[in-house]
A = this chain, B = another copy of it.
């Protein structure tokens, strides 16, 4: 660890991170996770520096083998001699630990490779949590020159699907078994999938699952891109080269079709809406207590003021 990494000054940390200091990257990510003004400073420094990185979301039900597959994908990216980062996101867990910690251990193959950066993202209980911190983390990793950012989400809840679905390319991982395809559809995964991966494809039922998925894709509205279905065995790396080829093909299509621009604008729109909601919620909490609030409430209780006029007075007294 260098001197810069021990400091907490964001510009210095960022300079060190851009020079290859991984501890500085980790420090900056911690600032982003914690939120508040230090996170804002990091955001202001990084937003203009990137634009070259591609984000790949990996999502699917727990137990689908996403971490093993992610580890195999890392190996494949490294074979192409490119740096890669993984953000492992678990909105259901307020702190790093449990499944995520286990995942980090399983990805331990790459721990000594300076071209690989793996990080579990945890909410620190602040407003908006991971949905707000994840795009900022991506901009940081982009700003320090990492061309591929994999975003692995642990579950298939609304937030997980939202986070994975906001990547440039979203990979939905299922397993052989008749129920998977149906489950994928239910969870809204069909709508966000750019690629399907049937992982653990050496098990019984892989072909049937492929047919189920094909059938569901037939029913969905045609767009310029038809999600390919890949077969992998994460533990052996089988099929992972093809998977990565499909990710790169999708990335090329995004650029050529103009879809990349459209997606990034939609993503920024969603991010701005989330920040706006968080800011106004914060404002509501701040305005809804304290002496100024209590004075106005007493006026309403005493019928000197009607409730809407009281709220007008609250909002007027404090610019947004």
- Contacts from A to B (Cβ < 8 Å): 40, 43-44, 47-48, 50-51, 135, 261, 264-265, 268-269, 271-273, 275-277, 279-281, 283-284, 287-288, 293, 296-298, 300-301, 303-311, 314-316, 318-320
Q: What is the CB-to-nearest-CB distance from A168 to chain B, in angstroms, rounded to a whole number?
A: 14
Given contacts A43-B306, A320-B318, contact A280 B284 (CB under 8 A): yes
Q: Is the Cβ of B297 less than 8 Å from the Cβ of A269?
A: yes
Complex CA distance for A297 and B270, rounded to whole angstroms: 10
Which one, B280, B308, B320, contacts A275 given CB within 8 A?
B308
Q: Is the Cβ of B43 less than 8 Å from the Cβ of A301?
A: no
Q: What B residues does A320 contact at CB under 8 A?
A: 283, 315-316, 318-320
Given contacts A303-B48, A306-B43, A320-B320, contact A272 B284 (CB under 8 A): no
Given contacts A297-B265, A301-B264, A315-B320, contact A284 B276 (CB under 8 A): yes
Given contacts A288-B273, A306-B44, contact A315 B268 (CB under 8 A): no
Q: What is the CB-to-nearest-CB distance from A93 to chain B, in angstroms, rounded to a whole number?
A: 25
Given contacts A316-B320, A320-B283, A320-B315, contact A272 B301 (CB under 8 A): no
Q: What B residues does A272 contact at CB under 8 A?
A: 288, 293, 296-297, 300, 307, 310-311, 314
Question: Can you give 8 A-B contacts (C-beta < 8 A)?
Answer: A268-B300, A272-B288, A272-B293, A272-B311, A272-B314, A275-B307, A280-B315, A315-B320
Q: What is the CB-to-nearest-CB distance from A66 to chain B, in angstroms, rounded to a whole number?
A: 28
Q: What B residues does A318 contact at CB under 8 A?
A: 320
Q: What B residues does A310 contact at CB under 8 A?
A: 272
Q: What B residues does A307 contact at CB under 8 A?
A: 43, 47, 135, 268, 271-272, 275
Complex CA distance for A268 and B307, rounded to whole angstroms: 8
Q: What B residues does A275 contact at CB under 8 A?
A: 307-308, 311
Report which residue of A47, A265, A305 has the largest number of chain B beta carbons within 10 angstroms of its beta carbon.
A47
Tell me the nearest residue of chain B to A48, going by C-beta.
B303
Q: Is the Cβ of A47 less than 8 Å from the Cβ of B297?
A: no
Tell me the nearest residue of chain B to A287, going by C-beta.
B276
Q: What B residues does A280 contact at CB under 8 A?
A: 280-281, 283-284, 315
Complex CA distance for A301 and B51, rounded to whole angstroms: 10
Q: What B residues does A279 contact at CB under 8 A?
A: 311, 315
Tell me the nearest residue of chain B to A269, going by C-beta.
B297
Q: What is the CB-to-nearest-CB distance from A266 to chain B, in angstroms, rounded to a whole number?
A: 10
Which one, B265, B271, B277, B288, contacts A276 given CB within 8 A?
B288
Q: What is the CB-to-nearest-CB distance from A288 to chain B, in angstroms, rounded to a whole number?
A: 5
